Amino acid sequence: MLKTIRGKLLVSFSILILLTLLIGGIGINTARIINNNYTGLLEDDVEQVNHLENVMILQGQIVAGIRGFLLYEDDAYIETVDNEQQQLHDILTTLQTMVHKEYEPAVQTILDAATLYTTNSDQILTNLTNEARLNEVLAIGTEANEKLLSETLALKDQIEADLAEHNNELNAITTKSLWFIAGALVVTLLASLVITYVANRGISPPVIATTRTIEEMAKGNLNIAPLDVKAEGELGAMATAVNTLLQTWNSVVRKMEHSATELAAQSEELSASAEQSLASSEMVAQAAEQNMTTSETQANYILQSIDSLHEVGEGIDQIAESNEEMLQAATTMRSLVHEGVDVVHEVSTHMTAIDTTIGESTSIMEVMAKRAVEIEEVSALITGISEQTNLLALNAAIEAARAGENGKGFAVVADEVRKLAEESKQSAARIETMIQDVRQAAEQAVQSIQTGQATVAEGLNRSAASRDVFTTIEQSVDDVNGRVETVSAAVQQIQAMASEVLRSTNQLQDLAQQSANTAQDTGAATEQQLAAMQQISASTQSLANVAQDLQDEVTQFQLR
């Protein structure tokens, strides 16, 4: 299969297509591994952070509810606090099943602090009339609340650090994958250059050598060495056909040269016979008439010889035209080869688009990271508001203890508490909006990966186009073979016409001999015989001129 042009091209581009498919498969497999290994980790870390933030928010609401009950003695606060404490306990229980083993003690500590605060809250409700005991219980509750918040914040920082570490690992793997794909593309490009060079080296030299030989033959130079037939397949067959054509032309031209020499010699002999006939005077009128008839016949055969020589020239012109068409077919083949190279470069361009698509995915992941930072800032704001709420509630309690029944500062403090609660709700809404932005960014990342897959499919389509181009190259080679067959047919026609020239010349020689014998049979020469012999002399001179012209035409060819 490698011995033919079609086989060489099919094997070369099959290798390129396999390399392209291999790179695409590696890229898709890498993306799948990254998605399987890190998507779950990142989602778990984000969910744990959200649970811890909800713990801090619920604890702040519980503290605010207890402060509100102390201020207003409204049982609705107690019901709200009970619900929030149950939610807090459920979240901590869920969180305890999600975190890694190394974080389970920290979650247990937070759960113990929440339980202590719940117990302390119950004691606050039972010791409202005992001011000393109430202050003691409030101090214990404040300590439990601070411990719960500090432990929660510390655990949240640790999980966020894990999230950042996982994100860094994901970026490192992505970078390595990009470098690997880039290296594979470079290797593919080098392989395509090597394959193109090898294929061109196996096709171009035989075609160039054959073209040069045909150009020399068209110029009339037949004194050239035959082509060294080393290639096999279509190129070897074409070189063999050109060698056969060169050998045939040499044989035909040699025969034409030999025929022209013989024709010149025969014309000289005919001229000598005419002079002898002019010296005769004993030829009768009948012999003279016969000589005249013979001379006319000779003239006709000579004209036929001239026509045959013209046909020989037309055959040679046809050979030159066929050779020119064969050269054009070879040029077309080279153009198609260049077009195939352009298609391969286009495949490389589409594979580069895969790299761009992955870059877009990286940018989207960076946006997600920025959103996470903003979420952290909002969480800090909520924490600050909660602390301010605690201070205001504490001040309100102190103020109530001092003022007794006349405490009018409760309304002001309560209004501040409600404002801070409203700000907490707005911050929570901002957190929800930012989380939605993070989800949208993840969806954009998925779309970007799909775009990369479409680009790989386009690269495969371009590879199919390259196969169509080289099918056209195969058709051009077949056209060259057809032109070579035309050249062989023209050579056969030249051989047939050369035989016709030789046969006409032999007939002319017979007629000249018959004319000489008739001249010997006549005994005397008359004026009519003299005129006839002058005509014969003129005809022989014309024949000599034709022979000279034929020799001149033959000398234009350089024979081996």
Backbone angles phi, psi at 328, to 5 degrees: -65, -40
The angle, 0 to 180 degrees and rounded to 10, between the axes of the packed helices 234-279 and 527-555 is: 160
The two tokens of residue 47 are: 């969910």
The reported pLDDT for the residue numbered 1 is 47
Confidence of residue 5 (pLDDT cuts 50, 70, 90): low
Q: Are 151 and 118 in contact (CB under 8 A)?
A: no
Angle at 26 between CA 23 and CA 29, to 5 degrees: 150
Q: Which residues contact 363 (CB under 8 A, 6 or more apart)?
A: none
Q: Are 244 and 527 in contact (CB under 8 A)?
A: no
The reported pLDDT for the residue numbered 430 is 75
Q: Which amino acid is it at 103?
A: Y
Q: Are 226 and 536 in contact (CB under 8 A)?
A: no
Residue found by looking up tokens 């016979």 in the block: 273
The reported pLDDT for the residue numbered 284 is 47
**pLDDT for 43 beyond 80:** no
The reported pLDDT for the residue numbered 380 is 64
The two tokens of residue 346 are: 């286009």
Q: Are 500 and 370 in contact (CB under 8 A)?
A: no
The reported pLDDT for the residue numbered 239 is 73
Taking the mean position of all CA atoms in its chain, how far away is CA 236?
32
pTM: 0.33
Confidence of residue 21 (pLDDT cuts 50, 70, 90): confident
Q: Are 36 and 170 in contact (CB under 8 A)?
A: no
How crowded is residue 272: how many other Cβ atoms within 10 Å of its Cβ? 11
**pLDDT for 16 beyond 80:** no
Terminal Cα distance for the chain, rounded: 37
User: Is residue 233 left, alpha or beta, with left meaning phi > 0 and alpha meaning psi from -120 to 50?
Assistant: left
Cα gap 503→333, rounded to integer Å: 44
**pLDDT for 110 beyond 70:** yes
pLDDT in tens, 146-197: 888 888 898 888 888 888 887 888 788 888 878 888 887 788 888 878 877 7
SS3 222: coil
The reported pLDDT for the residue numbered 315 is 63
